[in-house]
Amino acid sequence: MVKEECKALLDALNKVTACYRHMVLTIGGTSDSQNLREELKKTRQKAQELAVANRNKLTTVLKDKTVSKEDKAEFERLWVIFSTCLEILEIDMRRALELGHEFPLNVPKKHLIQTGMSGGTSGVAARAMSVQNMKYEAERNIDVMDLKDLENEINQVGEMMYEMEMKVNVPQWTVEAKQDPGAELKSTISVGASSIGMISVEENKSFCDISKVLAGIVFSAVLIIAIVLAVCVVKLS
């Protein structure tokens, strides 16, 4: 029961971290906007709540002496996943702070980098917040005002990580991964029809295929002509 709850919480945190990373990638590019900054703020706060919840749950379990050995190993594995996730989150938050300072949105002289992005990130944010549509309600200069909050939150996360280090004694290197290398390939994620990326990036491959197909067609045509001629010759003689 506890295990499932922990896993669910961890999955949620993982999802929010991935979405946050995705959004931080777009700061400073042409998809950047006040909405993005607001999305960042909301995602970040959600991530922090989840992190605190995760930590509380996992620390209570790890401190519990009545847990069996396999269960303990499992919880330690979850703890390692959690701490790595938190590290990634902290790094992204720091990057967001730096980039936020470098690319304030309302300054006319500072132009956004033309990265080729044209769409927005509202879908990603909605996924992070687990809502259908995002509502934007912040003030006009949230990009500047949010930075102070961001700094405080980074400090908070840093302190939390330090506390975790000190209080919970889980040697990371003893944890063995459950998944083998290449496990992601067995996943049921549909890759299929969506990406134009696959089509153009695999240019070389497709050219090879086309040339192979052409060669096959030519060869079979020649073969058919040869057979027809042979039949004609036989018939005429």
Which 157-186 positions form the footprint of other proteins (CB under 8 A)? 161, 164-165, 172-179, 181-185
What's the closest the beta carbon of residue 210 comes to other proteins, in angstroms?
Answer: 14
**Beta strand segments in 57-109, E:** none
| Residue in the block written with tokens 């939150």 | 153
What's the closest the beta carbon of residue 221 comes to other proteins, in angstroms?
Answer: 29
What's the closest the beta carbon of residue 42 comes to other proteins, in angstroms?
Answer: 15
Is-contact 13 85, C-beta < 8 A? yes
Q: How far apart are CA 55 and CA 170, in angstroms?
A: 13
Return the number of the residue (117 or 145) whose C-beta is nearest other proteins: 117
What's the closest the beta carbon of residue 134 comes to other proteins, in angstroms?
Answer: 11
Q: How far apart are CA 7 and CA 146, in angstroms?
A: 31
Return the number of the residue (104 or 223) whose C-beta is nearest other proteins: 104
Contacting residue, 8, 52, 107, 199, with other proteins by CB under 8 A: 199
Residue closest to 163 by CA, chosen among 78, 72, 83:
83
Sequence-separated (6 or more) residues with CB below 8 Å from residue 21: 88, 92
Contacting residue, 19, 50, 93, 150, with other proteins by CB under 8 A: 19
Q: How far apart are CA 35 and CA 47, in angstroms?
A: 18
Return the number of the residue (178 or 235) whose C-beta is nearest other proteins: 178
Report if residue 26 touches other proteins, rule: CB under 8 A.
yes
Q: How far apart are CA 89 and CA 21, in angstroms?
A: 8
Contacting residue, 2, 15, 59, 67, with other proteins by CB under 8 A: 15
Which 91-150 positions form the footprint of other proteins (CB under 8 A)? 91, 95, 98-99, 102-103, 110-119, 121, 123-124, 126-128
Contacting residue, 191, 233, 234, 236, with other proteins by CB under 8 A: 191
How many CA atoms are closer than 13 Å to the CA of 8, on its beta-carbon side?
5
What's the closest the beta carbon of residue 24 comes to other proteins, in angstroms?
Answer: 6
Return the number of the residue (2 or 15) whose C-beta is nearest other proteins: 15
Task: Measure CA of the first residue to CA of the last residue in the chain; give whole Å.
Answer: 87
Sequence-separated (6 or more) residues with CB below 8 Å from residue 29: 112, 113, 114, 115, 116, 117
Which 28-87 positions form the footprint of other proteins (CB under 8 A)? 28-31, 77, 80-81, 83-85, 87
Return the number of the residue (185 or 233) whose C-beta is nearest other proteins: 185
